[in-house]
A and B are shown apart, each in its own frame.
Chain A
């Protein structure tokens, strides 16, 4: 099993719909992240969490919200999806500030 699992892997949704992307990890790490990847751009940080009670906005949090249900679970929601949120979304975990980031397989989201 993968250390970081994202569901769904692919999703097509309509403009205005609410959608949730889920992430679970078996690394036992406290730090979890959600990134967005667009063609030609580096990964952009949406939200991050350093423990269950800690939620922080990243560079591009507008239009997104997150929930840290447990140490191992971190979900990303789009309350009202819009076409420019079409992108590849990655969840990642790290043990501490300077350690390796482990990424999930990604969720390809298309908003039509």
Chain B
């Protein structure tokens, strides 16, 4: 069964600290993995995409990693800011099937001053 699991469910950190969010998936055949940021009351917005051949990709203070062998991804946020408070959703695309997007339940990050 194609599934995407994220941990932790929620996280509270102090402004300026780093944090790492985890995503494990069983989606097959794998096409790509995206991390989305969803601000409260808004739609998700893509932060980064990881394909099978990529191990690490950075987007400003966000760094995503992918281990296709163990089917794990992480999103590392450096020097957190209050505006990083949001839900972060891991979304995996399968390379087959009409309905090929599989969503994690998200990690709710709260950055406090």
Using CB atoms and an 8 Å cutoff, list the residues of chain A in contact with chain B: 4, 40-43, 45, 48, 50, 56, 58-59, 90, 92, 97-98, 100-101, 103-106, 108
Interface-located stretch among B62-70, B74-82, B97-105: B97-105
What's the A-B contact tally at a CB cutoff of 8 Å? 53
With contacts A98-B32, A103-B45 known, is A42 near B93, CB below 8 A?
no
What are 28 A-to-B residue pairs whose CB atoms are below 8 Å?
A40-B9, A42-B4, A42-B105, A42-B106, A43-B89, A45-B99, A45-B101, A48-B98, A48-B99, A50-B98, A56-B98, A58-B99, A59-B99, A90-B43, A97-B31, A97-B93, A98-B32, A98-B93, A98-B95, A100-B34, A100-B46, A100-B49, A101-B46, A103-B44, A103-B45, A105-B43, A106-B41, A106-B42
A98, B44: Cβ atoms closer than 8 Å:
no
Q: Which residue of B lies closest to A58 (CB)?
A: B99
Which of B31, B41, B45 is in CB contact (< 8 Å) with A98? B31
B103, A43: Cβ atoms closer than 8 Å:
yes
Residues of B in contact with A, size category: 20 to 34
Q: How far is the CB of A80 from the nearest CB of chain B, in Å?
A: 26
Q: How far is the CB of A6 from the nearest CB of chain B, in Å?
A: 8
Q: How far is the CB of B43 from the nearest CB of chain A, in Å?
A: 3
Chain B residues closer than 8 Å to A103, beta-carbon distance:
43-45
* Interface residues of chain A: helix, strand, loop or mixed (majority): loop
Chain A residues closer than 8 Å to B104, beta-carbon distance:
42
Q: How far is the CB of B108 from the nearest CB of chain A, in Å?
A: 10
Q: Which residue of A lies closest to B41 (CB)?
A: A106
A105, B100: Cβ atoms closer than 8 Å:
no
B43, A104: Cβ atoms closer than 8 Å:
yes
Q: Which residue of B lies closest to A91 (CB)?
A: B43
With contacts A48-B99, A98-B31, A100-B49 known, is A42 near B43, CB below 8 A?
no
B103, A42: Cβ atoms closer than 8 Å:
yes
